[in-house]
Amino acid sequence: MRDAISEAINWGMTQEVLGKFLAEHGTEVGYMIPGTTFNIDIAKEVWQEEAYEDGFNDASEKYINELNAKEAESEAKDAEIKKLAIETEQLRAELAMQSK
């Protein structure tokens, strides 16, 4: 039974049937199928790794979103400063023309 399951998982990976999933989780799949030995220690380790990855990905996504928001805010402020600088130069030019 175990050999058949391993062979099915390997076939699925080589035939690109759920290839990426089986490459990452093939061992877990083998342990989850009835008639195989389930090792709680391996399952706990996998669950912990997945929880860490999920937390890391969530934190990374949040950090990237915050950086993008700050960058957008900074770009908006830069645009406003440039606009004010242009307006200031126009006012200076008008004042210079009026004082002549």
pLDDT by residue (tens digit) across 34-79?
555 666 777 788 888 888 888 888 888 899 999 999 999 999 999 9
Question: pTM surpassing 0.75?
Answer: no
Report whether pLDDT(82) > 90.
Answer: yes
pLDDT in tens, 2-45: 777 778 777 776 776 666 776 677 767 666 665 556 667 777 88
At residue 31, the pLDDT reads 65
Q: At what angle do helices 40-98 and 19-32 cross, to 10 degrees?
A: 150
Contact predicate 24/9, CB 8 Å: no
- C-alpha pair distances (Å), 25 with each of 7, 12, 36, 61: 15, 12, 15, 23
Q: Which amino acid is at 51?
A: A
Rounded to whole angstroms, how far apart are CA atoms 36 and 1? 8
